[in-house]
A = this chain, B = another copy of it.
Amino acid sequence: MSLRHAVLGLLSEGPASGYDLLKTFDVSLANVWPATQSQLYSELGKLAGAGLVDVVSEGPRGRKEYAITEEGLAELRRWVTEVEPTQVVRSDMLLRVFFLAQVSPEQARDYLRRRAEEAAKDLEHIESIREFVESGTDNLSVYGRLALEYGLRLAKSQKEWAEWAGGRIH
Number of interface residues of A (CB under 8 A): 60
**Can you tell how many copies of this chain the complex includes?**
2
Interface 0/1 of A127-149, CB less than 8 Å to B: 00000000000011011101101
| Residue ranges of A at the interface with B (Cβ–Cβ < 8 Å) | 2, 5-6, 9, 12, 28-29, 31-34, 73, 76-77, 79-81, 85-103, 107, 110-111, 115, 118, 139-140, 142-144, 146-147, 149-150, 153-154, 156-158, 160-161, 164-165, 168
Question: Could you jot down 18 A-B contacts, CB within 8 Å?
Answer: A32-B91, A34-B88, A73-B102, A76-B99, A77-B102, A81-B111, A85-B93, A85-B96, A85-B115, A87-B118, A97-B143, A98-B144, A100-B146, A149-B164, A150-B161, A153-B157, A153-B160, A157-B157
